[in-house]
Structures are given as C-alpha cells and as structure tokens.
Structure 1
C-alpha cells in the first residue's frame, strides 16, 4: 500500500483524568484543546464512550460533541464512538440528528459494539448481549434508517434526523469489524492503538470486501494511533509513560481513579512481563521525536494505505499535549510532496 499525497490528521480524545485532577478539569481541558488543534489544521475531533471508569471522563459523547462543536468553527466533531448496544438506536439518531441540525456538515457518528464498561455497569445500561454480530448489524441498519427519507405515517420519526444525517463510521479493532464495515458500505476506523499488529490485514480485508452503499461509493479508512511527539525520543517516552503505566494497571487491577503522574511513572519498577507488554504495544505507535515519528508514520501509512490518521495523545500536561499535536503535524507535512 502507499499513503495519500496529503494525510488528514484528526484527534481521538478519551478525556483522561490524571493524579491531582478530576473529571471536571479533564472535560474543561478537552473543550479548551479542541479550538487549538483546529488552528493547527486538524480535521476531526472524536470523543470515546466509557462508563464506570473514573480515569476516563467520556461517558456521554453526544453531550460532549455538542460542546466541542460550539467551541470550534470548522472542526468536524463526533463520537469515537457511540457503543450502540448500550443505547436505543432511536435515541442515538435523535441526539446526533439534533447535533447535525445545529452544526450542519460538521458532525460524525462513529459506532462501536464494545461494552466500554464492566459487566455490572453493562447491566445497568441495559446493554444488549455481547457477541451477536447480527443483532449489532440490525441496530446499525435501524439507526441508519432513521436518517433516510421515510413516510411519516408508516415509521417512527427520529426528529430531526430525517433531514440531518451525520457522517456515519464503523469502528473496530479486528478483521471481523472490517468485514462488517465493508458489508455495510460504511467508512471504517481501525483502532491501531489497541491492536496494532492487525491494522494492515484489517484494512486490506475492508477494501477487498467493500460494497458501495448510499453512504459511500468507495472504501475510506482511518487508523487511530497512540501518538506522543516531543523534541527527542527520550522526552516523548517520558511524556507517554504515565498513560502506558495506566495501560498496565488496566490489565492488572482493572478500574482505577486516575492515570499516574510523571513522578509515579518514573518511580515504578517494571517487571520483565510489563516491559514486554509495553514494547509490544508501544513500538508500533508514534512515540518519539519528530524524525522518529516521521519514519514510523511513513512506514505505517505505506503498510496500511490509511486515508486519515487519528492521534490519541494522552499526556498529563496540557501544553505538552498541544505541542505533541503541533509536532505531529510537522512530521506529517514533511512527508507530503512539495507543491
């Protein structure tokens, strides 16, 4: 695969809570960050859905997307993603139809089928049973139908969705999700930050199996990548360390109140197994100085042929976070041919 001549850059935000902060501050930081990355020329800003997870303040993507849209003027905003089995498709259509009516041409509705929660919370959400792909596909079809022109006498109306359709995306981290996106004729967002070793195969499968639809006439895919860019490889590794230690905590203890501070990350004594886990996860990501990230970005886009790159940048310091987005844009611009 080869990369496009110009690679749009976007942001995935899980609204992380770090030691010494709280959910309210994390949400305010996200709202403050969006117009700044808009100034850097970023294309989209998506927020995730998680429940009963104190370290991630992203339980209501529709509410947060509306606030982000109001804080920006050109940036596309939306969900990365709404976990559809947690919700009635009618309600999701009403929410995102309203957002599209208020901010026309700027709303994305990314859809996933993961739980985003533990089993007890999933029951509290009255989540549909896991593992039934046909059920999820039926939900996507129902949701999509609310945005299509219909006879108001024969079907429930999702006001104002019938005249205000956001851009629909299917999210996933496996070849199976790639196949579903292809079958539905939807653009596909692959979570390289979760399953980096399957990215190239999943996107190949998506393109090979794609069926044109009323949503899309040809395949279109983005990859979301853990990206931490700094003035040197060492500085980037130090900035990324608190989030990566948090990933270890997720595996070992499950839910925790906040991601560690830089001091906590520096003091942690990593076991051999923890080092191996981090090497496997972090090595394929975009963590490093500008030159390192430029090389990795060139290799990643060549291998996957992604049409767009979405950066998940989780660092404790807001200024360092914005600086990372700025440096990532510089690294991507250096790959584009001279005009």
Structure 2
C-alpha cells in the first residue's frame, strides 16, 4: 500500500521523489508505471478495489490512476499465526491448477514486471530444476512456498508472452537459487532479488564498505532490528527469521572478503513501534598501529516507505532489463 500510495503522489506531482535512489536517472518516468493487477491472501481485501484497500492505511489517497480489483493469490501457510483470515487458490485446487490460473490471469493483464512482496517465509532452496518441477507435479504444498510458486508461474507467463520480469523483495531464494535462475534463462524471465533490504542492512553495508576502502580490519558486527508491523510479527516464527538472517548476514563476507564474527537479523516484535522500527548497530574495528575503534549507531526507520521508494526503481529497472533481454538474474541490481 505504501508503494501504491507513494507512486500515485509521485505521478500527480504531490511529493518529491525522496527515497527513490535513481529518481531522475532512468529513461522510464514514474508516470510510465501502471498497476494492472494486485493479489492478496487476506479475505478482507480480496475482491475490493485497490484504492479501497490503500485508503485504509493512507487516508490522503482516495483515488488511483490505475485501480484494479484485488485478486486471490497463493499463501501456502505463509500467513499462519498472523491475525488475518487467509484465502488462497491452493485451498480449492492443485498447485498446478493454481499456477495455470495465475498465468491465464496475467496473460490478460499483460504486465511487464511482476513484484512479489508477500510475507517472509520459511523456505528451502531447490538447487536444481528437476526437484522443483517434481514438487509442483506432486502437488507438494509442504515443500513449496508462495514465492516459489509465483516465480514458477512468472517463468511460464514469460515464456507464453515472450518476456517478463520478476522482482522478489522477500528473502526466499529465487535470484540466488540455481533452479530458478536456470528456469528464468530458459523462459525469457528477468529475475531481481532476493530481499529488498532497505533499512539498517544497507546502512551497515555502506559503513563496512567505507572501512574496507580505508583498510580497517573489522573485528565484529552486531545489528539489531525491532519492529511492530505485520512482517516483524511474522518474523517471530524461527523458520521465517532464519530466512531473513540468510540474506542479511551474507553482506559481511561479500563486502569485506572475510567473514568477521557477526549477528545480523531481526531481533524482535514490539507492536507499539508499528512500521517505524528501532535499529541499533555496533561495529568494532582495528585501525593504524593496532588502535581499536567502535561505532555505535541507533535510529528509528519507517520500514515500508524505505522499501516503497526502492520498488519505484526496481520496477523501472525490470522493464529496462526486459527490453535488453537480460534474462536470468542481473547481479549489479541484486547487489
């Protein structure tokens, strides 16, 4: 809803593009982005106009330039223990049938870019395409997650259409799973992902890059995140929290070239914090002549707007990559 509300205001010139990293640097304008479809698994939202759903969170957005009805998606247990009544296509049909339904609907909507923002899931990568195809054929609802089903459906849609892009901003491995990357290349699908890190993690990455450039030796890193929105509630599930930890922790070795001891993952749920999460970062490093220094940073960051601004760019980059036929995953975007 934050992405939709912010995009509408951008298109109407009501706000400045703060928080959109590549605001004026891409050949595709904000006004060129059209929302042709929307999916949810919350029974209270399905069937309603997108504007009606968005206005529940953003009272200053009463109408949308593009206002599709919210269609039924796939959940596969991803919203278990959350305070919503879930409804998914897989409740009344096989996974194969659900995928066929999605591909048929998308073929009518004709999107260039499909964005996955569903709740963080507990997942296992596939590693090879054969295992993925078998899980779908066997209707293995325990093995597959909603994101994996959406990504597979996106590949079939891209093949049928002649190209599409799939943007995955949750931690489930798609761009980092060889099975899905191979599938994407074979079916003319561009894949971006995984996990739209937009709060403390990119800030920590920037600090680590700064220290690496100056040849400081990082001794340890601690990063804490506590929030009160639906995603942080989902992350109280150990399996889902572990998924988030995978994508966050990988930045240390990627940037430094060595795996400094670190603790980087969502730390807890506190409802009064709402969407404005609390973050704390501690980094200890060695400088010239053995001097040991410490950085301690704390702050409050609005979670959804940070991701919403990033999505404005990712959608446009997805279309650019699609036009260039850069099928598979695009590392410079993912990084």
Between Structure 1 and Structure 2, the one with more helix by share is 1
TM-score, with length taken from structure 1: 0.34
TM-score, with length taken from structure 2: 0.34
